[in-house]
Amino acid sequence: MKFLCVECDQQMAFAERQLPGDGTLAATFKCPKCGRVVAMLTNPMETQLVSSLGVEIGGRTVPAERFEIVSAMVKTTGPAWSADAEERLSRVPTFVRGMVKKIYGDYAKERGITEITPAVMDTARAELGLEGM
Amino acid sequence: MRTYHQLTDPDRSGLADQIEAQRRRVAGQLAGVKRIVAVMSGKGGVGKSFVTAHLARSLARRGGGAGKEGGEGGEGRAVGVLDADLNGPTIPALLQARAAAAPPAIGLDGVKCVSMGHFLAEGTPLEFHGPSAESFVWRGAMEASALRELLGDVAWGDLDILLLDLPPGIQRYLELCDILGAPPAVLTVTIPTPESRDAVRRAMRAALERGSELLGIIENMVGGELRGSAGDELAAEFGVPLVARIPWHPAREVWDTLALPLTPAPRTPHPAP
């Protein structure tokens, strides 16, 4: 996607990206000649389509993490997680977080545990040999 | 007014470069994979996953590959399976492979596998976060990206063969062609019926048109109520071998004696990462 300042016949340059948090995206482009700025505003569906491709408007400053989309975008359900357990899970690297969450979830389900707490995580870690998770 | 291609300044978003980086990542992770074979069928319910899992185990038990021990003619071939059926993953159950913190998981006979089933809670469908209205617009792209990650964010290591277990139809096959950068070789599964023959024919034509090497056909569920000769007819029509007729409840020997044409010319190499 490119933007043209018709008056100047100049390709506009990407300037800024904003994610308001409501599923929309705002990206601004500036004409290098006259300084005019335009904003591209996408609705949630359009924003999601771009996200679905695993690319970022404005470019990436760091490479994508492993399993970025699977970890962040796939809905997982299972036993409830206490706030402490969620916090601990958040310290697990993103690229294995989804898998680790599933392992703890399976462990809890097999034992009829309805809420995963740090204590449950400790027990599971010891039983399953998951040191470091 | 100038058109898109007449604007030659680099796009700072570098979307094309980002896509290219994704492809290089996949190529890098598959650099040690000698052969990629898609197990596909245009028809659902013909036993693709069943065939894939048992084929993978059979290959893993046989010698003659680079070997899990690393030597020519070693303990068995190093085999991996990508469960590309994101919405109905069954490979983890068939290979008895529990989720591993660092994929791939290891299943029966040492077969490596990766599956969406390792990310989903049991019994739950694949759903994505995002706007629910008109989700058909983005869901296909999201599934393709998830598939790319299952393929390219995994340390496959050195494999003699990676089997891709595809869902019915050709959509996933087409996505894999794009992700891999080259069409994978294809092994087709059918059941004997004419209905299956007609559906599988479409898939084989699509694979042929896309440039895939057709390795052969496996006719599954033979000898029961299902009548027809789809395997023979498709083999004759496409000039490929009918690799096997698999009966209901096949014994282990059925898999271990399959003469599989899996070692012809190596696949087209990926561009260097």
Helix%, strand%, coil% for chain B, nearest 5: 35, 15, 45
Q: Is residue A110 a part of any domain in this protein?
A: yes
d(CA A118, CA A94): 19
Structural domain including A75 reads 71-128
Residue A117 shares a structural domain with residue A84:
yes
Residue B204: pLDDT over 70: yes
Residue A11 belongs to some domain of the structure: yes
Question: Cα torsion for A62, A66, A71, A74, to the nearest 10°?
Answer: 100
Closest in A23, A66, A69 to B145, CB measured: A69
Instruction: Judge if A20 and A55 occupy the same domain.
Output: yes
B271 pLDDT tier (thresholds 50, 70, 90): very low
Residue numbers in B near A44 (CB within 8 A) = 130-131
Q: Is the pLDDT score of B169 beyond 60? A: yes
B114, β-bridge pairs = B82
Q: Of the residues A33, A62, A91, which one is the last residue of a structural domain?
A: A62
| Residue B185 CA from chain centroid, whole number | 9
Residue A108 neighbours by CB distance under 10 Å: 21
For residue A133, is it within any domain? Answer: no
Of A62, A80, A103, the domain-final residue: A62
Q: Which residues of B touch A133 (CB under 8 A)?
A: 101
A48 and A95 part of one domain: no
The answer, yes or no, to whether residue A58 has pLDDT greater than 70, is yes
> Are both A17 and A52 inside the same structural domain?
yes
In this complex, the residue of A2, A52, A105 whose CB is nearest that of residue B11 is A2
Domains of chain B: 33-120+134-256 (3.40.50.300)
> How many distinct structural domains can be found in chain A?
2
Candidates B213, B270, B255, B215; CA nearest to B33 is B270
Task: Give yes or no: residues A46 and A85 share one domain.
Answer: no
List pLDDT tens digits, range A87-116: 898 888 877 887 888 888 888 877 878 788
Shared domain check, A36 and A8: yes
Tell me the C-alpha distance between B35 and B83, whole Å. Answer: 16
For residues B39 and B165, is the Cβ–Cβ distance under 8 A? yes
Looking at CA atoms only, how far is residue A35 from chain B in angstroms? 17
Report yes or no: A16 and A28 within 8 Å, Cβ to Cβ. yes
Beta strand residue intervals within B202-256, DSSP E: 214-222, 242-247
Q: In a 3-state reduction of DSSP, which class is residue B9?
A: coil
Q: Examine the domain organization and report whether A99 and A123 are in the same domain.
A: yes
- Residue A121 resides in a domain: yes
Q: In terms of domains, do A45 and A89 share one?
A: no
A44/A86 same-domain check: no
Provide the CATH number for the domain around residue A80. Answer: 1.10.8.550
Same domain, A77 and A47: no
B139 vs B266 pLDDT, higher one: B139
Residue B263: its pLDDT value, please?
58
Report how far residue B82's alpha carbon sits from residue B95's, in angstroms, rounded to the nearest whole number: 12
* Residues in chain B closer than 8 A to A60 (CB atoms): 14, 18, 21
Together in a domain, A57 and A89: no
Query: Which residue does chain B place closest to A6, by CA atoms?
Result: B1
Instruction: Note the pLDDT tens digit of each residue in B104-147.
Output: 999 999 999 999 998 887 778 898 888 877 888 899 999 999 99
Mutate to test the interface with B, among A22, A45, A111, A128 (most CBs of B within 10 A): A45
